Amino acid sequence: MKPGNHTMSVSEFFLLGLSEQQEQQPLLFGIFLSMYLVTVLGNIVIILAFVSDLHLHTPMYVFLTNFSLTDLCLASTTVPRMLANIQADRKTIIYSGCLSQIYFFLWFVGLDVFLLAVMAYDQLEAICHPLHYALVMTPKCCTLLLVMSLILTESYSLTHTILLAQLSFCTDNIIPHFFCELLPLLKLSCSNTYVNQCVLIYWGGALIILIPLLIIISYVCIMAAIVRVPSTSGKWKAFSTYSSHLSAVCLFYDSASRDRIAAVMYAVVTPMLNPFIYSLRNKDMKSALGRLLSRRAL
């Protein structure tokens, strides 16, 4: 138990946001509104390109489309509420709303991590075992990988949310963040958070250490296979696809930190940049986007 007065339980939390300077609020609102609109537009365009173009109905683009949908949901979990709080006189969020935000945020961040791993495995099979690729990455296998990712990440977020709901929050209700995040909220609790910390360490260890390690091993194998490709054109084509995926992985893990500025990177900037990484550096996606825009123009 933390020292102090614990005679009442809070019903809402105050979010300090990115800046407490009032003169900076209009600028922040304009910047993050623009970034959110670009995120929504970019990811929706990728989803529409996949749905409308049969050439993209392959495992790689199935995973990419789910990745775009997850990024869209991730940004929508935090940014609209942040924009509303910038405009509001009282920057608050109710207790149930805070738990809901944590639940969906953890779910979509975890799903991003799992999808990056699934996409790395897909590239590993496509580049290292091209002759067996169609036999391994069947529609059934793709569906199984997606369903497993959904179930595991939903279990992760639900476990944390249920444990969080058991805690008491007393007089200290100021969150030094622009959205409800797990660690700052645990620090505010006047209950024993030992179980929460244990779950965070074990589950978080899988997301932060084990899965990235599997991704690194996959990309090392991919790089080794690319180096062995005899033709320059084949080597360049393989490296072009590989580099776009690797860029997304590096961007996500480089920004996954716990301070407020870094949180902007993985919660706002990364979902905005991922569509550009894939659409501008991928020949098939650029062709599909061109056909989609041509049909819309006609």
Q: Which CATH class is domain 12-297?
A: mainly alpha
* Residue of 119, 143, 139, 136 whose CA lies nearest to 64: 119
At residue 258, the pLDDT reads: 53
Query: What distance, in Å, lies between the first and last C-alpha atoms of the chain?
Result: 66
CB 226, CB 238: distance < 8 Å: yes
**Using alpha carbons only, how large is the chain's radius of gyration in Å?**
21
- b/e map 34-52, b = 16+ CB within 10 Å: ebbebbbebbebbbebbee
- pTM metric for this prediction: 0.85
Sheet order of strands, 12-15 included: 92-94, 12-15, 174-175
pLDDT score of 145? 95
- Distance from C-alpha of 4 to C-alpha of 140, rounded to nearest angstrom: 56
Token code pair at residue 46: 């990728």
**Domain range summary for the chain, segments of one domain joined by +:** 12-297
pLDDT at 164: 92
Q: Give the pLDDT of the chain (298 residues) as one tens digit per residue.
A: 444 444 346 788 998 887 777 788 889 899 999 999 999 999 998 898 888 888 888 998 999 899 999 999 999 999 999 999 888 877 889 999 999 999 999 999 999 989 989 998 998 898 888 888 999 999 999 999 999 999 999 999 999 999 999 998 877 788 888 889 888 888 888 888 989 988 888 877 777 788 888 888 888 888 888 777 776 666 666 666 666 666 667 766 665 555 666 777 778 888 888 888 776 667 777 787 778 777 766 5
Sequence letter at residue 45: V
pLDDT at 1: 42
